[in-house]
Amino acid sequence: MTRTSLADVACSIARATDLFGDAWTALIMRDVLAGIGRFDDLAHDLGISRKTLAARLARLVDEGVLVRERYQDHPPREHYRATEKGAELHAVLLALMNWGDRWYAGEAGPPARVRHLDCGHAATPVMACGNCGEPVTAANTTALPGPGGRTGPGTRALGPLLAARGRDDAAHPIVTTRAQAGGPGGGS
């Protein structure tokens, strides 16, 4: 079955999901960010077919999420390492892990823990506002139109909703901050 590409949808969630939305890609990134970077080790750990793994790794390299580096010349051997773009997926994976721990861990508890190396404590990821530091939740945020947003496939209902919110919010403009410079554009 051919997947529909989401790369042209005016939504940062859609564009990211287009690359990162299948389970194998998320698990490959989990392993690479945890320090498993050799092809055979990834295939063994994940139990994934070599063909599927090669395709996912090639796409991650093409997208600039991973780099392939030679670690041995005879015979030639390479491993995969996250780029800056790939390393930033760590926060996404931690958020998924936190959600999964809450809703799917079961009676035995979470299958893995995260230690914050700076303080040595077990860490629970929290999405926080880059300006005030307060937690960011669905209840205390709203989506507004961004400069790259447009109504079209994937945003036919969302685009007009965000545009209306933008008109309603005109009396209360968004405070421009350093966080906006690197923030996602588009519909979401």
Closest CA to 98 of 128, 136, 125, 129: 125
| Residue 89 scores a pLDDT above 90 | yes
pLDDT in tens, 9-19: 888 888 888 88
In the numeric block, which tokens belong to residue 186?
């588009």
Q: Do 80 and 36 meet the contact criterion of CB atoms below 8 Å apart?
A: no
pLDDT at res. 171: 63
Q: Which residues contact 133 (CB under 8 A, 6 or more apart)?
A: none
CA distances from 136 to 36, 132, 146, 178 (A): 32, 10, 18, 17
Give kind and range of the element (H or E) at residue 78: strand 77-82
Between CA 185 and CA 188 the distance in angstroms is 7
pLDDT band at 140 (very low <50, low <70, confident <90, very high): very high
All structural domains of the chain: 12-87 (1.10.10.10)
Neighbours of 89 (CB within 10 A): 21
pLDDT in tens, 92-111: 999 999 999 999 998 999 99
| Residue 174 scores a pLDDT above 80 | no
